[in-house]
Amino acid sequence: AIDIEQLRAQTGAITLDPGYKNSGSCKSEITFLDGEEGILRYRGYSIEELADKADFLEVSYLLIFGELPTQKQLDQFENDIRKYTLVSEEMKNIIDGFPRTAHPMGVLSSLTSALTAFNPKAVNPHNEKDMYDAVCKTMAKFIVIATWTYRKTMGFPLNYYDNTKGYVENFMHLMFELPTGPYKTDKRVLDALDKLFILHADHEQNCSTSTVRIVGSSHAGLFASIAAGVSALWGPLHGGANQAVLEMLEEIHNNGGDVAKYVLKAKDKDDPFRLMGFGHRVYKNFDPRAKIIKKAADDVLSALGVQDPLLDIAKQLEQVALEDDYFKSRNLYPNVDFYSGIIYRALGIPTEMFTVLFAIGRLPGWIAQWKEMRINKEPIGRPRQVYTGSPLRPFVEKDKR
């Protein structure tokens, strides 16, 4: 039993809020989210407008530096990123140590951590030039190593960033170009990818971002903090859901497409199965990103002439769930991950890379939040607990246990 008096004497009052459902950890000027109304804004700009009118590097700049860049600032930013796109050849030795079957997210977390060894100089967030260079370096190297995780699984030679191409176009080049010839990407594919990256770019104090902030609050470096964010993102309750959604849709399809059966299964409290891509900690109304992605999925598939039975299954699933009392009463709506996988699939991205794509999109958000946390001189993150273990007891010698 908890000795409340003893606890009070030791700790003072403690607010117990597992999962931090109602606890704010910081003040932030980066992202505004209203879960009741389904509103998302980066630095005051609506996600709908940004997804429609801006590109990913522009949005990255906005999140990290607080204002939309002028054309000159944007060109400079892109050029400065290009200065750092070479990744040390020795990093390849690390990749060689992984089995080809390794999940790309595990490899990405390790490689991001390894960047600390190749870039040991600590970033001073209070020095503008130092911070700006660190931003460019992180944006440059992360996209390269992210795609190397896929090349490794395929056993293909690793590609270098092509400084004559744009940032998002480089993703496709790094992933798919082979020594046998150049890889040309359809503009519609690039536009769709750009939009998806924007929609994933920040989402205030979610699990991976809180991780980045809390690791960074010990003054651990930027790469080390981001490596921790990658690991947090990997879980199927967070960014790993995009892979899990697609696997679920495939399973439903392969088992005859009986959507209602899976809705029933998700409601069964004795069954651990959940409808992946449904529900959100903060949105108790529709996830505004899901609305945009659903439309994008329709547009991309019809523009590319792709007919995917999984899109029909997803739509049926959404329909059945939205009319079901269990889902309605718990405010469970499709989230950002529900339709994104269908677009990635149409673009030719392998399923195991879906969460890596999420990480590339989320990177500017992680950097912006790390920077804000350090600039605001936030104290080290150190939650308290309510101890529920044994009271004091005498030590028992080994022969008496």
Nearest distance from C-beta of residue 391 to ligand ACO, angstroms: 31
- Distance from the first to the final alpha carbon of the chain: 23
Query: Where are any strands of DSSP class E within 44-175?
Result: 45-46
Cβ atoms 360, 197 nearer than 8 A: yes
Please identify the residue of the shown chain whose CB is closest to the bound ligand ACO: 279
Measure Cα distances from 121 to 67, 115, 222 in Å: 28, 11, 11
Nearest distance from C-beta of residue 330 to ligand ACO, angstroms: 4
**For residue 192, which of 379, 41, 339 has the smallest C-alpha distance?**
339
Other CB atoms within 10 Å distance of the CB of residue 351: 16
Nearest distance from C-beta of residue 275 to ligand ACO, angstroms: 4
Conformational region of residue 219, where left means phi above 0, alpha means psi within -120 to 50, and beta covers everything else: left
Nearest distance from C-beta of residue 107 to ligand ACO, angstroms: 21
Nearer to ligand ACO (CB atom), residue 215 or residue 244: 244
How far does CA 194 lie from the centroid of its chain? 15
- All residues at 6 or more sequence positions from 254 whose CB lies less than 8 Å from its CB, including other chains: none
Nearest distance from C-beta of residue 370 to ligand ACO, angstroms: 19
Main-chain dihedrals φ then ψ at residue 32, nearest 5 degrees = -105, 130
Tell me which residue has tokens 């995780």.
149
Among 194, 202, 287, 337, the one annotated catalytic: 337
DSSP per-residue letters across 224-237: HHHHHHHHHHHSTT
Nearest distance from C-beta of residue 28 to ligand ACO, angstroms: 18
- All residues at 6 or more sequence positions from 12 whose CB lies less than 8 Å from its CB, including other chains: none
Active site residue 280: yes
Burial (0-12, 13-18, 19+ Cβ within 10 Å), 172 = buried
SS3 246: helix
Nearer to ligand ACO (CB atom), residue 241 or residue 314: 241
Nearest distance from C-beta of residue 153 to ligand ACO, angstroms: 23
Cβ atoms 333, 294 nearer than 8 A: no
Nearest distance from C-beta of residue 19 to ligand ACO, angstroms: 6
Rg of the Cα trace of the chain? 23
Measure Cα distances from 177 to 35, 110, 280, 358 in Å: 41, 24, 37, 21
Among 103, 200, 238, 280, the one annotated catalytic: 280
Measure Cα distances from 255 to 130, 198, 313 in Å: 55, 35, 12
d(CA 365, CA 61): 10
Q: Which one-letter amino acid corresponds to residue 200? A: H
Active site residue 337: yes
The residues that touch ligand ACO, with contacts defined as CB under 6 A, are 19, 237-239, 241, 266, 274-281, 330, 332, 335-337
H helix or E strand, kind and range, residue 41: strand 39-42
- Catalytic (active-site) positions: 280, 337
